[in-house]
Structure 1
Amino acid sequence: MAAARSEKIGYGLGDMSSSMFWKIFSYYLPFFYSNIFGLSLEHAAVLLLITKLWDAVSDPVMGLIADRTTSRWGRYRPYLLWIAVPFAVAGILTFTTPAWGYTAKLVWAYATYLLMMTVYTAINVPYGAMLGVVTDDSRERTVFSSYRMFFAYGGSFLALAIFEPLCRFFTGDTVGRNAAETVAAQAGGWQLAMVVVGTICALLFLLCFRLTRERVVPTEDSVPGGRSILADIKSLAANGPWWILLGVAIAALLFNSIRGGAAAYFFKDFIGSDNLLGGSMVLTCGVFLAIGEIANMAGVVLAVPISLRIGKRMTYIAAMAVSGLLSIVFFFIPATVAGCWTMVVLQVLISAAAGITFPLLWSMYADVADYSELKHGHSSTGLIFSSSSMAQKFGGAFGSALILWLLASYGYDTSVGAAQNGEAIFGLRMLMSWLPAAGCALAALLVAVYPLGETCIREIGEKLALRRAANKR
Structure 2
Amino acid sequence: MSIKKVSFRNKLAYGFGAVSFGTVTNGFDYFFLIFYSQILGVDAHLVGLALLIALIVDSLSDPIIGYLSDNTHSRWGRRHPFMYAAVIPVSVAYYFIWNPPASLSGNELFPFILVMAIGVRTLITLFEIPNSALIAEMTEDYDERTSILSYRFFFGWVAGVGMGFYAFTFLLVPTETIANGLFNIAGFGEMGLTAAVVIFIAILTSSIGTHNLIPYMNPPPSRATLSIQRIYREIFETLRNRSFIALFSAALMGAIGTGIAAGLFTYINSFFWGFSTIQVGQLNASIIISALIALLISPTISHRLGKKHAAIIIGLLAFTIMPITVLLRLLGVMPENGDPQLFPLMLIITVVDVSLIISYQTITTSMIADLVEDSEVQTGRRSEGIFFASMTFIKKFVQGFGVLMATTILTMAQFPAGAAPGEVPSDALFRLGAYYVPTVVAVWMLMIVFISKYNVSRETHNANLSKLGRNSVDTR
Instruction: Give deviations 1:140-159, integer Å, cap 9, x for gaps.
Output: 22221111111112212321
Residue 451 in 1 paired to residue 455 in 2?
yes
Partner Cα distance (1:82, 1:391) in 2 = 24
Displacement after TM superposition at 1:293 (Å): 4.3
Residue 157 in 1 paired to residue 161 in 2?
yes
RMSD: 2.6
Q: Which aligned pairs between 1:370-449 and structure 2 lie closer than 5 A?
A: 370-417=373-420, 419-430=423-434, 433-449=437-453
Tell me the number of residue pairs that the alignment of Structure 1 and Structure 2 aligns. Answer: 454
Q: State whether residues 257 and 444 of structure 2, in contact with CA within 8 Å, keep that contact through their aligned partners in structure 1.
A: yes
Displacement after TM superposition at 1:29 (Å): 0.8
Could you tell me which residue of structure 1 aligns to residue 138 of structure 2? 134
Percent identity of the aligned residues? 21
Secondary structure (helix, strand or coil) at the match of 2:319 reads helix
Select which of 272, 296, 303 maps to 1:301: 296
Displacement after TM superposition at 1:426 (Å): 2.1
**One-letter amino acid of the counterpart of residue 124, structure 1:** E
Displacement after TM superposition at 1:27 (Å): 0.9
Could you tell me which residue of structure 2 aligns to residue 194 of structure 1? 192
Displacement after TM superposition at 1:3 (Å): 1.5
Q: State whether residues 263 and 285 of structure 1, in contact with CA within 8 Å, keep that contact through their aligned partners in structure 2.
A: no
Q: State whether residues 37 and 97 of structure 1, in contact with CA within 8 Å, keep that contact through their aligned partners in structure 2.
A: no
Select which of 252, 261, 264 maps to 1:262: 264
**One-letter amino acid of the counterpart of residue 188, structure 2:** W
Instruction: Give deviations 1:445-470, integer Å, cap 9, x for gaps.
Output: 111111111110111122224499xx
Displacement after TM superposition at 1:349 (Å): 2.0
Partner Cα distance (1:154, 1:176) in 2 = 29
Instruction: Give deviations 1:224-279, integer Å, cap 9, x for gaps.
Output: 648842442232342111111112222233333322331211233222257xxxxx
TM-score, with length taken from structure 1: 0.88
Counterparts in 2 of 1:59 and 1:351: CA distance versus 1, 3 Å: same
Select which of 20, 38, 51 maps to 2:41: 38
Could you tell me which residue of structure 2 aligns to residue 55 of structure 1? 58
Range moving further from structure 2, 131-140 or 312-321: 131-140
Partner Cα distance (1:216, 1:437) in 2 = 43
Counterparts in 2 of 1:197 and 1:360: CA distance versus 1, 3 Å: same
Range moving further from structure 2, 385-394 or 223-232: 223-232
**One-letter amino acid of the counterpart of residue 214, structure 1:** I
Displacement after TM superposition at 1:301 (Å): 2.0
Could you tell me which residue of structure 2 aligns to residue 65 of structure 1? 68
Partner Cα distance (2:254, 2:391) in 1 = 11
Displacement after TM superposition at 1:425 (Å): 0.6
Select which of 346, 351, 361 maps to 1:348: 351
Displacement after TM superposition at 1:376 (Å): 0.7
Residue 327 in 1 paired to residue 322 in 2?
yes
Partner Cα distance (2:471, 2:302) in 1 = 28
**One-letter amino acid of the counterpart of residue 408, structure 1:** T
Counterparts in 2 of 1:166 and 1:432: CA distance versus 1, 3 Å: farther
Counterparts in 2 of 1:351 and 1:205: CA distance versus 1, 3 Å: same
Range moving further from structure 2, 356-365 or 392-401: 392-401
Partner Cα distance (2:344, 2:41) in 1 = 34
Partner Cα distance (1:215, 1:243) in 2 = 32
Displacement after TM superposition at 1:77 (Å): 1.9
Counterparts in 2 of 1:301 and 1:44: CA distance versus 1, 3 Å: same
Partner Cα distance (1:404, 1:94) in 2 = 20
Displacement after TM superposition at 1:107 (Å): 0.9
Instruction: Give deviations 1:156-203, integer Å, cap 9, x for gaps.
Output: 23212112234336xx724289x9xx99x8333312211111101111
Secondary structure (helix, strand or coil) at the match of 1:175 reads coil
Q: State whether residues 249 and 395 of structure 1, in contact with CA within 8 Å, keep that contact through their aligned partners in structure 2.
A: no
Secondary structure (helix, strand or coil) at the match of 2:418 reads coil
